[in-house]
């Protein structure tokens, strides 16, 4: 994924004040942090604008910085993109809405389209027709405006620090570079396109010499979907509010699709398959001939297995696909595992025994047989049976406790401004999994050999629980409020996607010079699933493993992935044992400073 960084401040190069020094050193750190995201090329375009009264004195400096992880097109690409004075820092992928040929680069094509626009509405129209994840900063020369935004689902990270008296600079960046008491990064909101009007800024700054005020008075929020425009990708879809009929045939077994669901299963498969295809095709080769270009965050759960299987259909058969399966040495868990099944003991004794074990010494040999490793290996077998001729590199990523401790500070910096205990356990799991460094085996009983994945694209199964009602809370909602409550919960789920975890995950994974892609979060998939009547997606009256995200389970079994089709939901931090390493209790508690 690419790195985007933009700064605007009012310092003269020769000023040498301490606050200027702070801005300069933060900018240097932010350039560095963004460079990791785009290892292919990095560069800056700097614009110094003079005071009209005194042309020798620069009154504001704008820097556009971009780092490139080339994933589209054959030619070398330099970021930021520049055309006739227009500048685009682009971290994104165009999967629809603008023609990009297999040999072409999406950033280059997008800038051509943007540069031709004469009015802001045209620019808004271009983005409202684009399907794909993005975060960008764009300077449009004719309008003399700076625009920045993320896609409506927030699938790419973009942070903003708005100028304050302590740090009078506008900073927009894909990633933070650690904490500083004066740096107030927050995620750029996805409900609008943010705009800074340069002429307004200049007028205000010339009169008041107050940078903070000038920035405030010149920034505005442009609606993503002006009333008279019909834009298919300007906002995530609304959930179908229809209440199911009092009686409808229930799914008896996942192996038998009731007639009324046969069409929806097929249509869902076609749309998800296309979304996956768009995310694995035309990836330029950067590793050795015959090496993997595509990898999957692979827990062996239903979502990641379906994604791996669909990727297989579109990646050339002679090319391996890497499956990243992460397991943590978690001293607390290992001590408990050592004790065997204490669940059979009476409660009081269980508690006493647990405490004694937690205080005792850890086992001598770390174990990486975490729940996700067990299901991962089972699904590997199922995929091997179903996809003859494909090499699946099952990458066992084993993370010793000490390595987790050593990486902690870096991961905490990368995930900022996210800062809870749960953020950290998820971020650690993603950080190590996506790095793709571990061991592989040529056969189940063979000795492992070290392996580092060269794949730049990392597929993730995230999103299906949100769309199809895969969480326990959906069942709970049915319990207290019936179908209307489930529908409300599903809508909330979609509305929350942009502010939840995707920005954080992007910041973590991209630090390895890789890019996550989420087939379930294609806007086409989202609007198809959202539009289905609720009882087509899930049936909370059926047991877990059947009724939760039922439509996907039917699809999965239809593909032949019988074992995968009935796997139960397990959060990544628990499946990999990255959670509660040191006995932390509350996931939503803020991390200690
Ligand atoms: N990787 C990126 O985010 C930018 C663009 N899709 C490229 O491949 O150049």
Q: Does 77 sit in the ligand 1 pocket, CB within 6 Å?
A: yes
What tokens does 194 get? 């943010």
Mean pLDDT of 206-219: 92
Which residue from 136, 133, 132 is spatially nearest to 123, judged by alpha carbons? 136
Summarised one tens digit per residue, pLDDT across range 580-590 is: 887 666 777 88
Ligand 1 mutation pick, 36, 42, 72, max ligand atoms within 8 A of CB = 72
Q: In whole angstroms, what separates CA 31 from the centre of its chain?
A: 21
Q: Which among 89, 92, 109, 131 is the best mutation to test ligand 1's pocket, defined by most ligand atoms within 8 Å of the CB?
A: 92
| Cα separation values, 247 from 243, 244, 261, 530, Å | 11, 8, 15, 22
Distance 137 CA to ligand 1 centre (A): 14
Ordered DSSP codes for 223-262: ESS-TT---TTSSPPPPP-PPPPS--PPP--TTS--HHHH
C-beta of 90 in contact with ligand 1 (< 6 A): yes
Q: d(Cα 531, Cα 237) in Å, to the nearest integer?
A: 8
Q: How many Å lie between the centroid of ligand 1 and the Cα of residue 70?
A: 5
Is pLDDT above 90 for 53?
no
Rounded CA-CA distance 31/128 in Å is 29
Compute, in angstroms, the gap from residue 512 CA to the centroid of ligand 1: 15
130 lines ligand 1 (CB under 6 A): no
Task: Determine whether 571 is exposed, middle or buried from the number of CB atoms within 10 Å of its CB (0-12, 13-18, 19+).
Answer: middle
The confidence score (pLDDT) of residue 354 equals: 67
Strand segments, DSSP code E, in 121-277 are 134-140, 145-150, 159-161, 169-173, 186-187, 192-197, 219-223
The single residue listed with the structure tokens 């009333």 is 227
Residue to substitute in 38, 80, 105, 135 for testing ligand 1 pocket (most ligand atoms within 8 angstroms of CB) = 105
Q: Measured from the CB, is residue 550 less than 6 Å from ligand 1?
A: no
State how far the Cα of 169 lies from the Cα of 180, in Å rounded to an integer. 14
Mean pLDDT of the chain: 92
Question: Measured between alpha carbons, how far is 510 from 456 in angstroms, rounded to an integer?
Answer: 10
Give the model confidence (pLDDT) of 532-564 as tens digits.
999 999 999 999 999 999 999 999 999 999 999
Find the length of the chain: 593
Look at residue 361 and tell me whether its pLDDT is greater than 80.
no
How much distance in Å is there from the Cα of 460 to the middle of ligand 1? 18
> At how many degrees (to 10) do helices 259-280 and 302-314 cross?
60
User: Could you tell me which residues are beta bridge partners of residue 219?
Assistant: 196
**Mean pLDDT value of segment 472-488:** 94
3 neighbors 33 (Cβ within 8 angstroms): yes
CA angle 380, 381, 382 (to 5 degrees): 90
Ligand 1, atom nearest to 79 Cα: 9
Instruction: Kindly provide the residue ranges of all beta strands, DSSP E only, lying in 110-218, ordered along the sequence.
Output: 134-140, 145-150, 159-161, 169-173, 186-187, 192-197
Asked if the model's pLDDT at residue 353 lies above 90, the reply is: no
Are 310 and 281 in contact, with CB atoms under 8 Å apart? no
**Candidate from 1-10, 83-92, 446-455 with smallest mean pLDDT:** 1-10
* 71 CA closest ligand 1 atom index: 8
Report the candidate in 137, 173, 160 with the shortest Cα–Cα distance to residue 31.
173
pLDDT in tens, 240-282: 999 999 988 888 999 999 999 999 999 999 999 999 999 999 9
Phi, psi of 22 (to 5 degrees): -60, -45
Sign of CA dihedral 530, 534, 535, 538: positive
The Cα 92–Cα 135 span in angstroms is: 6
CA of 72 to the centre of ligand 1 (A): 6
- Pocket flag, ligand 1, residue 70 (CB < 6 Å): yes
- How far is Cα 450 from Cα 549, in angstroms, rounded to an integer? 37
**59, exposed or middle or buried, with CB in 10 Å at 0-12, 13-18, 19+?**
buried
Write the pLDDT tens digit of every residue in 66-83: 999 999 988 888 999 999
pLDDT at 167: 93
Pairing, β 457-459 against β 294-297: parallel
Q: How far apart are CA 373 and CA 444, in angstroms?
A: 13
Q: Provide the ipTM.
A: 0.93
Report, as residue numbers or ranges, the catalytic residues.
2
**Pairing mode, if any, of strands 437-440 and 449-452?**
antiparallel
Per-residue pLDDT averaged across 316-339, rounded? 87
Ligand 1 atom at minimum distance from 77 CA: 9
Which tokens in the block code for residue 28?
A: 């240097």
User: Is-contact 128 229, C-beta < 8 A?
Assistant: yes
Instruction: Compute the distance between CA of residue 313 and CA of residue 95 in angstroms, rounded to an integer.
Output: 18
Alpha-carbon distance 524 to 451, whole Å? 35
pLDDT classification of 141: cutoffs 50, 70, 90: very high
């Amino acid at each position: 994924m690419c790195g985007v960084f933009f700064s605007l401040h009012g310092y003269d190069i020769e000023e040498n004040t301490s606050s200027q020094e702070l801005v300069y050193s933060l900018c240097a750190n932010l350039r560095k942090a963004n460079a990791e995201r785009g290892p292919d090329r990095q560069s800056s375009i700097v614009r110094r604008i003079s005071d009209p009264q005194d042309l020798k004195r620069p009154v504001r400096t704008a820097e556009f910085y971009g780092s490139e992880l080339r994933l589209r097109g054959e030619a070398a690409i330099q970021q930021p993109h520049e055309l006739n004075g227009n500048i685009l820092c682009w971290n994104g992928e165009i999967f629809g809405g603008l023609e990009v040929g297999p040999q072409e680069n999406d950033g280059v094509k997008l800038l051509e389209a943007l540069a031709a626009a004469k009015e802001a509405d045209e620019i808004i129209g271009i983005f409202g027709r684009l399907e794909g994840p993005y975060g960008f900063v764009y300077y449009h020369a004719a309008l003399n405006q700076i625009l920045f935004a993320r896609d409506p689902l927030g699938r790419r990270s973009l942070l903003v620090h708005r100028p304050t008296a302590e740090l009078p600079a506008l900073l927009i960046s894909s990633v933070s570079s650690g904490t500083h008491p004066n740096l107030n990064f927050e995620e750029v909101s996805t409900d609008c396109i943010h705009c800074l009007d340069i002429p307004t800024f200049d007028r205000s700054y010339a009169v008041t010499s107050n940078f903070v005020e000038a920035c405030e008075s010149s920034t505005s929020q442009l609606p993503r979907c002006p009333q008279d425009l019909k834009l298919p990708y300007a906002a995530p879809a609304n959930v179908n509010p229809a209440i199911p009929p009092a009686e409808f045939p229930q799914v008896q077994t996942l192996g038998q699709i009731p007639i009324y669901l046969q069409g929806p299963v097929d249509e869902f498969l076609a749309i998800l398959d296309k979304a996956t295809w768009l995310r694995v095709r035309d990836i330029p080769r950067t590793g050795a001939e015959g090496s993997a270009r595509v990898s999957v965050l692979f827990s062996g759960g239903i979502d990641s297995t379906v994604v791996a299987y669909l990727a297989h259909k579109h990646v050339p058969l002679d090319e391996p696909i890497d499956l990243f399966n992460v397991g943590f040495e978690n001293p607390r868990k290992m001590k408990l595992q050592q004790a065997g099944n204490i669940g059979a003991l009476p409660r009081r004794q269980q508690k006493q025994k647990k405490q004694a074990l937690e205080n005792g010494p850890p086992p001598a040999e770390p174990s990486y047989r975490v729940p996700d490793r067990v299901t991962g290996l089972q699904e590997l077998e199922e995929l091997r049976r179903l996809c003859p001729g494909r090499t699946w590199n099952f990458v066992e990523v084993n993370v010793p406790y000490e390595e987790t401790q050593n990486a902690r500070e870096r991961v905490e910096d990368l995930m900022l401004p996210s800062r809870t205990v749960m953020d950290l356990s998820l971020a650690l799991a993603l950080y190590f999994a996506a790095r793709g460094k571990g061991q592989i085996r040529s056969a189940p009983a063979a000795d492992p050999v070290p392996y580092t994945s060269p794949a730049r694209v990392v597929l993730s199964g995230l999103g299906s629980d949100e769309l199809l009602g895969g969480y326990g809370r959906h069942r709970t909602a049915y319990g207290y409020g019936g179908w209307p409550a489930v529908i409300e919960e599903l809508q909330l789920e979609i509305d929350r996607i942009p502010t939840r975890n995707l920005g954080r995950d992007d910041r973590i994974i991209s630090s390895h010079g890789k890019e996550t892609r989420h087939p379930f979060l294609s806007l086409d998939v989202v609007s198809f699933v959202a539009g289905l009547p609720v009882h087509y997606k899930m049936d909370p009256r059926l047991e877990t493993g059947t009724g939760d995200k039922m439509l996907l389970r039917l699809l999965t079994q239809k593909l032949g992935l019988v074992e995968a089709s009935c796997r139960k939901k397990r959060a990544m931090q628990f499946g990999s044992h990255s959670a509660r390493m040191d006995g932390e209790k509350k996931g939503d508690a803020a991390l200690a400073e």
